[in-house]
């Protein structure tokens, strides 16, 4: 029994194989406004998108989106 939460080499191989198969499938259905834990996306990309939307007039205040 492994006491640490570190996956075994076999576990990592299986995880990577599953990720390589499923990532392209799910990337097609994710929102363009989703940035968390996505390939080729960063927090800086999310900030840029928020700034773009704000500049287009999308604002959120105490009365909701206006």
- Region at 35 (left for phi over 0; alpha for psi -120 to 50; beta for the rest): alpha
Could you tell me the end-to-end alpha-carbon distance of the chain, in angstroms, rounded to an integer? Answer: 56
Residue 56, pLDDT score = 93
36 or 3, greater pLDDT: 36
Contact 65, 59 (CB under 8 A): yes
- pLDDT tens digit string along 22-59? 999 999 999 988 998 898 999 999 999 999 999 999 88
5 or 58, greater pLDDT: 58
Residue 6, pLDDT score = 84
């Amino acid at each position: 029994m492994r006491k640490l939460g570190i996956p075994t080499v076999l576990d990592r191989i299986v995880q990577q194989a599953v990720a390589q198969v499923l990532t392209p499938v799910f990337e097609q259905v994710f929102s363009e406004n989703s940035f968390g834990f996505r390939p080729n996306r960063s927090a800086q990309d999310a900030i840029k998108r928020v700034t773009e939307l704000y500049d287009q007039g999308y604002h959120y205040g105490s009365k909701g989106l206006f």
